Structure 1
Amino acid sequence: MKKQSYLEYGSVVGERYRIVRTLGTGGMSSVFMAEDLKLPGKQWAVKESVADPQMMKLVRAEAEMLISLSHPRLPGIVDFFEHPPSGAVYLVMDYIEGITLEAYMKGYQGHIPQEQIVPLALQLLDVLDYLHTRQSPVIYRDLKPTNIMLTPEMEFKLIDFGIARSYKAEMNQDTVKLGTVGFAAPEQYGAGQTDARSDLYSLGALLLYLCTGGKYSEWTAGVEGYIRGELPRHLIPVIRKLLRHHPGERFQSAGEVIGELRRSADFQSAQQGVSVGDASIEYGGTRVVAVLGVSSGSGATHTAIAVSHYLARRSRSVALVELHSTAKAFARLQEVVNGVPVGRASSSRRFEVDGVHYWRQTSRADVIALLGGSYQFIVLDLGSGQDNERLEEFLRADYPLVVGSGAEWRIQDIAGLSRSLQRHPQHKWNYCLPLAASEAVRRLRKELDHDQVFALPFHSDPFEQEEEMDQVLDEMFRGAIPDTRKKRFGFLKRSHR
């Protein structure tokens, strides 16, 4: 039974948070948007729970659990207090702007773009892996469309930890049987204790729900006929295994599912012959271009910017991501674009230049989130170096670009990189040599036995269109995009004003 809330518009709780409006209500809780009286302009979500003493233990446990967590897919907790006279407990957390996945699905009549399903799964697996691998594993137990928020930047976040619990190995079964019918694992109804595999079952139910346009979340006879035909077929066995009745027959960890999805996606790409030089390429979701410099100063960032604006001029939606946390190039660019003094870059990591969304000093988790968005191309500026995180993103990209010096005495740097990574398939790689002579390109093509080696012409302003550069990029991306032009961004002219 729903408990009556003690809050209304204008109420102040904790002598700091003034209620603005109701965001949602549940069995024993209500969530409100509140403005911060001490930080003008700041908004929070305030969760009010009113329950009997026994259920209140769950509320306190939720607060303690959330306070201990820190992950970009989870809301941050900033305050927690009780109001003994009313018996209410208040949890103050980040206000997440956006809509639930359920509401987002309704906007597409249940058929969200198929290219968003695997990236969504990877985002959810990322946060589940974080929860499940903590020293005291956290089992979410209520993964469903109404508990997943989608932000305007197409980032997914888990909300409502009301029935999450810590896993205790010595227990045979849960003391409280809770969950949402259709998405909860069988063991949540008394068959045993829930563990990480229970959340993986719920993920399978959620994926099946998305793949059938909201019609099914349980694997029953004939369900295959309702799975959307345009979906990647490798998803079907993954979903089927996630939904096994017995936990021992499912995937055993979120990391195992992540590996399976990535292997399947790579296999599908290879089978379809997806490569930069393949004229049969058709756009089918977000494509990733990864730009890696052979050494510092080789021009990776310059090339990444030029490629991004080339793609944007051809009516592509593009995100340019700086995937190395110590880099300062994008911060300086943001200062120039915003017209602020050096060292005064905005707290926002995203800014825009002529339709290209720049993301400075971005984490791998953010890249996974962006893959679930509406971008047609994501260009990763990996800088130089081969740490595991950046190298993995380079190897996984649809269009890996290696940038090396075009100087005669540095040409062998690229050949050396290729030899050091020879255990990895290199048929998709593209080698870029700024200002290299045609003879140097010819020799490197012969040495590598690889046609995708290009000399990049002099291009002082990577934001501006330059005909020779466009010709090279047209060849590099031949067949991948239509030839549609956009206006240019005069960076050099603006920066000298």
Structure 2
Amino acid sequence: MMQKPSRLEYGSIVGERYRIVRTLGTGGMSRVFMAEDLKLPGKQWAVKESVAEPQMMKLIRTEAEMLISLSHPRLPRIVDFFEHPPSGAVYLVMDYIEGMTLEAYMKGYQGHIPQREIIPFALQVLDVLDYLHTRQTPVIYRDLKPTNIMLTPEMEFKLIDFGIARSYKPELNQDTVKLGTVGFAAPEQYGAGQTDARSDLYSLGALLLYLCTGGKYSEWTSGVERYIRGELPRHLIPVIRKLLRQHPEERFQSAGEVIEELRRSAEFQPAQHGASVSEPSNTLLEYAGTRVVAVLGVSSGSGATHTAIAVSHYLARRSCSVALVELHSTAKAFARLQAVVEGAPAGRTSSSRRFEVDGVHYWQQTSRADVISLLGGSYRFIVLDLGSGQDNERLEEFLRADYPLVVGSGAEWRAQEIIGLARSLQRHPQHKWNYCLPLAPLEAVRRLRKELDHEKVFALPFHSDPFERDGEMDQVLDELFRGAIPDTRKKRFGFLKRQR
């Protein structure tokens, strides 16, 4: 509990803007409240109140500025910071995240969450740790544990509670404050060393061990292997063991190194024809790591679905296992295509949401929870057809993709559609974005590259049948996916020819 009582209660107004609604949680030196925004009616925030000694205020201000600068889909935005000197309280205002903690989610499964969710979960956590650790001034989270991970209703994992996160300072020999949760914190958080990225990786190992033993263990002790669930992939044990080494130099040295290890050695369960996305198969295949391609149109009719299909079949011809996912619940394009492929009478729909064309697995009207399950499958690539909708769910999938593709018109009078999208999301990193302009002249490509100060702008040639190989289109996609795929070819499906 807080050593000093909070001055806040229901109806209290802080920062002349946020009205307290209720208490969300209480920690050692802080409380978190839900608050409504008086300037933005209907908007709710989480307000964290902490007590600080006067001599700590300068450090706290610096750390608050660091947290406000963070921008990642798996982190709550921290939008405001202010102080109340008379009480010694400081306040962080951040996104209110609806859902339940990972700890509560585990209790719902009596500690045994589905094994197919564990590695995709680990990769999500590693994604955000990699973001934090590779910033110009690395950020060390220092309190990775089940109660600090929120699971949203859409099956999205988010880190919460940055109360003891800190910037890594190479000139220091040790941390100023020793904090962390016993059982999940690295040994150096209580010793004489300074915490760094490897400390967070230790905590990830503790968290994975906790998940793999049904909540029984978070430290590697003698005989713990007997409690690791038998159905889990065996390659996880040496990964967890290395993460939990007592000495930092013996662990993985970066989140990226762990990601590559999991992608190189993991065995996943592939999806089977006609099966539900969430139903596992009994066959295990070697897995080289799933890459996600997200295709987003800037406006209706921009060609997002056509481009997503062309990209998927290009990847399949390169001997890649590919799932093409229709991630918008009202779309009808895949249903019409399935009827043609399966020769169904007009007006009759198939009971299966999954069908196959030339090795590409198509998934109709798929939810985010299904996408998370597919990430635990055998696919080398998952291509998300996001359509032209820009709701929060689809935008978040676009922002976290390995290959985000924006599809828009190359016409000069419509260039502002793409520029407007880029500017509206300028707080998010855009170095991975690829802009695809169907039928655009080279002058339009040069103009947009200059306007956006971005080199990854491509003109897509005329390509009437996205299932069919086209030499010019392949050249463009070779450049877009350079270094990510082998250069092999497969037989192709002539969709337009079958229509004739």
Task: Give the structure-1-normalised TM-score.
Answer: 0.65
Q: What is the Cα deviation at residue 240 of structure 1?
A: 0.9
Root-mean-square deviation (CA, aligned residues, Å) is 4.3
* 2:400 counterpart residue number: 365
Rounded to whole Å, the distance in 1 between the matches of 2:95 and 2:10 is 19
Q: What is the Cα deviation at residue 181 of structure 1?
A: 0.7
Q: What is the Cα deviation at residue 13 of structure 1?
A: 1.2
Inter-CA distance 195–349: structure 2 relative to 1 (3 Å threshold): closer
**Which structure's relative contact order is higher, taking Cα pairs within 8 Å and 6+ residues apart?**
1
Paired residue total: 381
Q: What is the Cα deviation at residue 83 of structure 1?
A: 1.6
Q: What is the Cα deviation at residue 122 of structure 1?
A: 1.0
* 2:447 counterpart residue number: none
Rounded to whole Å, the distance in 1 between the matches of 2:391 and 2:74 is 17
Rounded to whole Å, the distance in 2 between the matches of 1:30 and 1:12 is 15
* 1:230 counterpart residue number: 231
* 2:33 counterpart residue number: 32
Is 2:327 the partner of 1:284?
no
Q: What is the Cα deviation at residue 120 of structure 1?
A: 1.2
Which amino acid in structure 1 is aligned with residue 7 of structure 2? Y
* 1:299 counterpart residue number: 306
* 1:330 counterpart residue number: 387
Which amino acid in structure 1 is aligned with residue 352 of structure 2? R
Rounded to whole Å, the distance in 1 between the matches of 2:496 and 2:152 is 42
Q: What is the Cα deviation at residue 214 of structure 1?
A: 0.5
Is 2:200 the partner of 1:213?
no
Unpaired segments ≥5 residues, structure 2? 282-288, 296-302, 311-323, 327-332, 339-348, 355-364, 372-381, 409-430, 435-462
* 2:319 counterpart residue number: none
* 2:132 counterpart residue number: 131
* 2:494 counterpart residue number: 433
Deviation digits for residues 355-380 of structure 1, max 9, x if unmatched?
Answer: xxxx3684252689xxxxxxxxxxx9
Inter-CA distance 181–415: structure 2 relative to 1 (3 Å threshold): closer
Tell whether the 8 Å contact from 2:113 to 2:211 is kept in structure 1 after alignment.
yes
* 1:163 counterpart residue number: 164
Rounded to whole Å, the distance in 2 between the matches of 1:409 and 1:308 is 20
* 1:376 counterpart residue number: none
Identity, % of aligned pairs? 66
Rounded to whole Å, the distance in 2 between the matches of 1:312 and 1:383 is 30
Inter-CA distance 361–45: structure 2 relative to 1 (3 Å threshold): closer
Rounded to whole Å, the distance in 1 between the matches of 2:485 and 2:93 is 48
* 1:76 counterpart residue number: 77
Inter-CA distance 409–63: structure 2 relative to 1 (3 Å threshold): closer
| Partner SS, residue 130 of structure 1 | helix
* 2:104 counterpart residue number: 103
Rounded to whole Å, the distance in 1 between the matches of 2:205 and 2:350 is 36
Which amino acid in structure 1 is aligned with residue 398 of structure 2? S
Tell whether the 8 Å contact from 2:212 to 2:228 is kept in structure 1 after alignment.
yes
Rounded to whole Å, the distance in 2 between the matches of 1:361 and 1:88 is 34
Q: What is the Cα deviation at residue 180 of structure 1?
A: 0.8
Deviation digits for residues 372-410 of structure 1, max 9, x if unmatched?
Answer: xxxxxxxx99979xx9888xxxxxxxxxxxxx7559996
Rounded to whole Å, the distance in 1 between the matches of 2:209 and 2:60 is 31
Tell whether the 8 Å contact from 1:173 to 1:194 is kept in structure 2 after alignment.
yes
Q: Superposed, which structure 2 residues align to 1:412-423 within 5 Å? A: none
Is 2:375 the partner of 1:314?
no
Q: What is the Cα deviation at residue 66 of structure 1?
A: 0.9
Deviation digits for residues 170-214 of structure 1, max 9, x if unmatched?
Answer: 222222211111111111111411111111010000011011110
Q: What is the Cα deviation at residue 155 of structure 1?
A: 1.4
Tell whether the 8 Å contact from 2:469 to 2:492 is kept in structure 1 after alignment.
no
Tell whether the 8 Å contact from 2:9 to 2:20 is kept in structure 1 after alignment.
yes
Tell whether the 8 Å contact from 1:242 to 1:251 is kept in structure 2 after alignment.
yes
* 2:65 counterpart residue number: 64
| Partner SS, residue 493 of structure 2 | strand
Inter-CA distance 302–242: structure 2 relative to 1 (3 Å threshold): closer
Q: What is the Cα deviation at residue 130 of structure 1?
A: 1.1
Tell whether the 8 Å contact from 1:201 to 1:242 is kept in structure 2 after alignment.
yes
